[in-house]
């Protein structure tokens, strides 16, 4: 499914050196931008979950529903 701005999405936990950096959950896509630092054409989504905002690759997200904050 194609993820767009305003969609509610699930995202996986992110680990580094055995530690959880971002605990998986549900958030809302606030923006979609290009990966300016990588050499690929992958896109990055800015996800807001509660008060936290973070960047995740678009292909790891799964859409829960359209329209955002209507739950």
| Domain spans, the chain | 8-65
Q: Whole-model pTM above 0.85?
A: no
Distance separating the N- and C-terminal Cα atoms of the chain = 20
Give pLDDT, residue 69: 53
| Residues comprising the chain, all counted | 71
At residue 71 the predicted structure's pLDDT band, cuts being 50, 70 and 90, is: very low
Tell me the C-alpha distance between 37 and 11, whole Å. Answer: 22
For range 37-61, the mean pLDDT: 88
Give pLDDT, residue 38: 74
What is the DSSP track for 34-63?
E-SSSSS--EEEEEEETTEEEEEEGGG-EE
Give pLDDT, residue 36: 80
Tell me the C-alpha distance between 44 and 58, whole Å. Answer: 5
């Amino acid at each position: 499914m194609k993820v767009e701005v305003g969609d509610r999405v699930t995202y996986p936990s992110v680990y580094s050196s055995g530690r959880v950096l971002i605990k998986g959950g549900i958030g809302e896509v606030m923006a979609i931008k290009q990966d300016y630092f990588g050499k690929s054409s992958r896109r990055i989504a800015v996800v807001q979950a509660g008060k936290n905002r973070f960047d995740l690759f678009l292909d790891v997200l799964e859409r829960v529903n359209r329209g955002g904050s209507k739950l």
